[in-house]
Amino acid sequence: MDYGQGMEQKARQTLAMTPAQLQKLEILAMGNQELMQFLEDEQMENPMLDYETCSAAGEEYVVLGEWFRKNDYAEPDDRAVVNEDMSYQEVPEKEDVSLREYLKSQIRHCPASKEHKKIREREHERELEAVMNRLLEYIDENTGYFTEPKEYLGCIMKCPLETFEEALFIIRGMEPAGIGAFSLSDCLELQLERAGIKDDLLIEIIDNFLGEVALGNINHISRKLKVSTGKVKQCIRMIKSLNPRPAKGFGTDDTVYVIPDIRAVKDKNGWEVTIRNSGTSHIRLNSMYMQMAQNAAEPDIQLYFQEKITRAKNIIRAIEQRENTIRQVIQCVLKYQEGYALGFTRRTQLTMKQVAEELEIHPSTVTRAVKDKYIELPSGVFAVKDLFQASHQAEGEKGEPEQEKMILLINKLIETEDKKKPLSDKNISEKLQSRGITIARRTVAKYRELAGIEKASERKLK
Question: Is 0.75 surpassed by the pTM of this model?
Answer: no
Residue 204: C-alpha distances to residues 55, 75, 198, 222, 232 (Å): 23, 24, 11, 12, 11
Residues 6+ apart with CB under 8 A from 248: 254
Residue 93 pLDDT: 42
Sign of the dihedral through C-alpha 176, 177, 180, 185: negative
Which segments in the chain show pLDDT lower than 70? 1-17, 52-97, 108-124, 215, 249, 251-258, 277-282, 390-403, 462
364 Cα distance to chain centroid: 24
The string of pLDDT tens digits covering residues 141-177 is: 878 889 888 888 888 888 888 888 988 999 888 888 8
For residue 13, is it left (φ>0), alpha (ψ between -120 and 50) or beta?
A: beta
Quote the CA–CA distance of 176 and 99 in Å, as a whole number: 10
pLDDT tens, position by position, 338-391: 888 887 777 888 888 889 889 988 888 898 898 888 888 887 788 888 888 754
**Of the options 2.60.120.560, 3.90.550.10, 3.40.50.300, 1.10.10.60, the CATH number for the domain spanning 403-459:** 1.10.10.60
Residue spans of the domains in the chain: they are 61-254, 262-387, 403-459
Q: Measured between alpha carbons, how far is residue 360 from residues 308, 332, 353 in Å?
A: 33, 12, 10
Identify the pLDDT of residue 15.
47
Q: Summarize pLDDT for 5-14 with one digit per residue, the tens.
A: 556 555 554 4
Instruction: Return the ∠ at Cα 46 (arms to 40 and 51), rounded to 5°.
Output: 40
